[in-house]
Amino acid sequence: MIKLLKYDLKRNATLLLGGMAILLLCEFVLLWSRATDEVKIVLSVLFFGAVAVIYFISSLRVFDYNITTVSRRLVPVGALSYVGASLLYGLLNSLVLTVIGAAFTAYMVVNLGGGFSWAGQIPVWAIVLIVVEYLFLLVYGFLTFYVTIALARSLVTKGVFWIGLLIFIVLTIVLSYVEDFLFGQDSSALFGSVDLEWSSQSGVLARELPGLLSAWQTWGSIVFEGL
Amino acid sequence: METLLKVDGVSKKYGGKLALNSVSLRIGPGRIVGLLGSNGSGKSTLMRIAAGLTPPSAGSISVLGKPVGKETRSLISYMPDLPLTESWMRVKDAVAFYRDFYADFDLEKAREMLDFMSLKENDRVSSLSKGMGERLQLTLALSRQVNLYLLDEPIGGVDPVARGKILDAIVRFYSEDSSLIVSTHLVRDMERIFDEVMFIQDGVIVLHEEVESIRINRGKGIDDLFKEVFGE
């Protein structure tokens, strides 16, 4: 699995390193520019979004490449190694991008005006829970797409994209329906394990620090997705 | 004699098209076998099934008694008609890829073959000509120490000089304890290396015979017999 990952990274090194270099360059230019804070935040989100999309597509292409090309299918490894290597590739890229994004966000929070001092008050357990759920979402998301690609590849040789899209839509609707039926909520809510609320009280924006959302529906839904 | 490759009633359908029709054969060790047929006769399909890349629609296939699958991948070295290398690679990366994944890969033999094939380790795979690319694929395939080598069209689309070099390399570097199945429709160029030949036509093996037996009993060469069988 690690050997497959090594060659996946080598094969896509130009794309990954090039994308990262361009992103960092754009971000630094943006930070040192005279643009307003709002413009900096919006452009920064756009830059990260663009690279995230490119990396995400690359991750899906890696899985597709591993299960379709003769050179990869001939190597004496188990079927799960292809999934594991592709998943690690996707997670690794996502996490590197997340860490860089978090660093820029922290810099902006500290340097682009106040209003974010509450961020330091988030308890450690909530941060851990958010990170765990983020990882879970990444794994769940990638695996859902891998299942879609594998199914589409096994069904047709032409029009794989459209069949894959159809399978993905059906899969998403069915899962949402089952979750809604079982737990009264679907998987569309992100970071459902931590409850952080903002509300307007007498014209002043107030917030409630994170609390553990203990509803069994939320955790049941997460466990269901995990299964 | 121990059977190396055993194919029993293997058929393969692609949609409504029957690519292989109840093929049965046995290959023993120490043989160079030509799998000969015109384009679309089922040669590559049979090779892919033997390599474990495509499941048969019916029948069974085994290597040294083991059903074709993950376990037999370490017994077979397959050179498909498409490159096994990737465009980002240099020759040394392709060799490293094989060394990393195949415990039976013989690095010394690979270096000797690269030298014989006039390939340099720093050459970029993407800049190699068709003939040089085929030489590299063959180097990678034959540098593994396995029981069965499957070469699918190893001289397809290469010039006569490269063909000669590739055939010389096959004869020089193939291990005599192993067997080698070579699929091709370029019979005249390759017939000198075969011990036995199989003719495949419309997914059916129509002839499987020793080359010497054909020459003695039929009084003709493989190329002449091929033209007789496949002539339109």
- Are B169 and B113 in contact by the 8 Å Cβ rule? The answer is yes
**Domain of B33, in residue numbers:** 5-230
Give Cα B166 distance to the centre of its chain.
12
Beta bridge partners of A207: A198
- How far apart CA A147 and CA A145 sit, in angstroms, is 5
Question: Taking an 8 Å Cβ-Cβ cutoff, which residues of chain B contact chain A?
Answer: 51-53, 70, 73-74, 78, 80, 82-86, 88, 93, 97, 100-102
Model confidence pLDDT, tens digit, residues B17-49: 888 888 898 888 888 899 988 888 888 899 999
Beta bridge partners of B179: B148
* Cβ–Cβ below 8 Å for B102 and A70: no
How many structural domains comprise chain B?
1
* Cβ–Cβ below 8 Å for B86 and A71: yes
Model confidence pLDDT, tens digit, residues A73-120: 888 888 888 889 999 999 999 999 999 888 888 887 777 665 556 666
Q: Is A154 on the interface with B (CB under 8 A)?
A: no
Q: Is A70 on the interface with B (CB under 8 A)?
A: yes
Model confidence pLDDT, tens digit, residues B111-147: 988 888 888 889 898 888 887 888 888 889 888 988 8
* Cβ–Cβ below 8 Å for B88 and A75: no
Exposure string (b/e) for B77-116, b if CB count within 10 Å is 16 or more?
bbbbbebbbbeebbbebbbbbbeebbeebbeebbeebbee
Residue A70 C-alpha, separation from nearest chain B C-alpha, in angstroms: 7
- Residue numbers in A near B99 (CB within 8 A): none
- In a mutagenesis test of the A interface, which of B90, B97, B104, B137 is the best target, namely the one with the most A β-carbons within 10 Å? B97
Instruction: List Cβ neighbours of A226 (8 Å cut-off, separation of 6 or more).
Output: A136, A140
- A45: number of Cβ within 10 Å: 12
Model confidence pLDDT, tens digit, residues B170-202: 887 777 788 899 888 878 878 888 889 998 988
Model confidence pLDDT, tens digit, residues A131-167: 888 888 888 888 888 888 888 888 777 777 788 788 8
Instruction: List Cβ neighbours of B16 (8 Å cut-off, separation of 6 or more).
Output: none
Residue B126 C-alpha, separation from nearest chain A C-alpha, in angstroms: 13
Q: Is A158 on the interface with B (CB under 8 A)?
A: no
Please tell me which residue of chain B has the smallest CA distance to A7. B97
Identify the CATH number of the domain in which residue B160 sits: 3.40.50.300
* Cβ–Cβ below 8 Å for A7 and B97: yes
Least confident interval from A86-100, B197-211, B215-229? B215-229
- Are B143 and B98 in contact by the 8 Å Cβ rule? The answer is yes
* Beta strands in chain A, from DSSP E residues, in sequence order: 194-201, 204-212
- Helical packing angle, B107-116 and B130-142, nearest 10°: 150
**DSSP H or E segment with residue B17:** strand B17-27
pTM: 0.76
- Are A132 and A142 in contact by the 8 Å Cβ rule? The answer is no
Q: State whether residue A164 is helix, strand or coil.
A: helix
pLDDT score recorded for residue A87: 92
